[in-house]
Amino acid sequence: MSTKRFTNLMQGKDNLLAGNTMQEYTVEEWYLCWIRNFKEPTVKRGTLDSYNCMFRFYIGPFLGNIKLKHLNSTEIQSFYNELAKNDYSKSTITLIHALLTNLLRYAYRMGLMEKNPMEMVILPRARKKQERRVLSREEQQLLLSYIKGTEIEMIVTVALATGMRIGELSGLTWDNIDFSKNEIHVLEILKKQRGGDFYKDTPKTGKSRRTIPLLPQISSKLRKYQQLQEYWRKAGHLPQERRDLGHLVFLRENGAPFSDLFLCRQLKKAAERIEQDGIPFAPITPHCLRHTFATRALENGISAKVVQELLGHSTITLTLDLYTHVMQDTKTEEIQKIADLF
């Protein structure tokens, strides 16, 4: 399904299928109806954007034109197998499966399908996610030295010192920082629609709303950064500043907010500069900064429960599953405490 066609349908009238009998729905038409009537009133805008991207780029092109009454488990299984064949990760296929399951469950319950084809579908074996890239202590200092004086220096520094997600950092306003207590309050996030505009959204989960202590040296850097930003503002050097988003802490040199894509490109350029100087340095992503913070915290004896709270994970299991490499090293060190007994 083309992006233009999808957008036109999404902007259509509420009753997208006026004049159609229920038996004539295609998967694409039912998806648009389902989103409009069952999801838009109940889920966050960011969740809707994720659903739309998954349908537009994965489900729609393969299954969109098939009528619901003709859709069967064989076609869906073939779709999944094709995804696995094209080397999509297990997590990507699982997300697509969750969306499709929800979509067709509603269709079946409303009598649009004689049976639910998802009951006979199995997830194929797919490649596992690559091991998460974590900066070593030396790499962390090297990166900070190479981005010194650039527009990403401050946001990267705070990311490494707090473990905040990039959306949380880019949506942070000065009102969210309590300098008297050296604390950051994570209350909202900034998102950017694919090909669209920035907008504020609520954090990922309830646990994502949290308070993060600031190291004194990071708090001091932020105070100086605030003063510099105010100077830029008064001097008219922030022509594109988005006042409707609040006074954002992190702004690009042109006054625009930071996006994940922009930061990703800048980190890639920094890694390339390091490599050009003859120092081996694998590429990194913005999320690598969060993983690096968590790894440093666990390496230095901060409990997994506290790391969970700092990261905003909904369960401690998620924290431990993500950082098993650190926990294994910690176990090896800890067991030495009973060595004298033997």
Say yes or no: 47 and 166 in one domain: no
Q: Does residue 4 register a pLDDT over 60? A: no
| Residue where one domain finishes, among candidates 120, 149, 183 | 120
Higher pLDDT, 158 or 255: 158
Amino acid 205: pLDDT: 81
**228 in a structural domain:** yes
| Residue where one domain finishes, among candidates 74, 95, 120 | 120
For 293-333, the pLDDT digits (tens) are 999 998 888 888 999 999 999 888 888 877 777 766 666 77
**340 in a structural domain:** no
pLDDT band at 227 (very low <50, low <70, confident <90, very high): very high
| Residue 12: CATH number of its domain | 1.10.150.130
| Residue where one domain finishes, among candidates 64, 94, 120 | 120
**40 in a structural domain:** yes
CB 226 within 8 A of CB 214: no
Measure the CA–CA gap between 121 and 83, rounded to whole angstroms: 14
**126 in a structural domain:** no
Higher pLDDT, 21 or 179: 179
Residue 10 has which token pair?
């999404």
pTM here is 0.75
Amino acid 22: pLDDT: 52
CB 323 within 8 A of CB 162: no
Q: What is the mean pLDDT of residues 260-274?
A: 95
Q: Does residue 151 register a pLDDT over 90? A: yes
Amino acid 12: pLDDT: 45
Say yes or no: 85 and 25 in one domain: yes
Say yes or no: 223 and 311 in one domain: yes
Q: Does residue 130 register a pLDDT over 70? A: no
Q: Does residue 3 register a pLDDT over 60? A: no
Q: Does residue 41 register a pLDDT over 60? A: yes
Say yes or no: 142 and 98 in one domain: no
> CA angle 185-194-262, nearest 5°?
65
Measure the CA–CA gap between 26 and 239, rounded to whole angstroms: 47
Say yes or no: 85 and 143 in one domain: no
| Residue 263: CATH number of its domain | 1.10.443.10
Total domains in the chain come to 2
Q: Tell me the angle at which helices 137-146 and 260-276 cross, rounded to the nearest 10 degrees.
A: 100
Amino acid 102: pLDDT: 95
Measure the CA–CA gap between 112 and 68, rounded to whole angstroms: 7
Amino acid 133: pLDDT: 86
Lowest mean pLDDT among 35-49, 227-241, 255-269, 302-316: 227-241
**131 in a structural domain:** no
Q: Domain containing 330: what range?
A: 137-334
Amino acid 155: pLDDT: 97
Say yes or no: 148 and 114 in one domain: no
**125 in a structural domain:** no
Lowest mean pLDDT among 29-33, 204-208, 255-259: 204-208
Say yes or no: 153 and 296 in one domain: yes
Q: Does residue 85 register a pLDDT over 80? A: yes
Say yes or no: 235 and 109 in one domain: no
Amino acid 238: pLDDT: 74
Amino acid 272: pLDDT: 95
For 91-101, the pLDDT digits (tens) are 889 999 999 99
Q: Does residue 267 register a pLDDT over 70? A: yes
Higher pLDDT, 111 or 126: 111
Q: What is the separation, in whole angstroms, between the first and last Cα of the chain? A: 68
Say yes or no: 173 and 79 in one domain: no
Lowest mean pLDDT among 63-77, 245-259, 261-275: 245-259
Q: What is the mean pLDDT of residues 110-124?
A: 90
Say yes or no: 235 and 198 in one domain: yes
Q: What is the mean pLDDT of residues 74-85?
A: 92
Q: How many helices (H) and strands (E) does the chain have?
A: 15, 5
Q: What is the mean pLDDT of residues 237-263?
A: 85
User: Which of the given ranges, 39-48, 211-220, 326-335, has the highest pLDDT on average?
Assistant: 211-220
**320 in a structural domain:** yes
Say yes or no: 112 and 203 in one domain: no
Say yes or no: 260 and 293 in one domain: yes
**196 in a structural domain:** yes
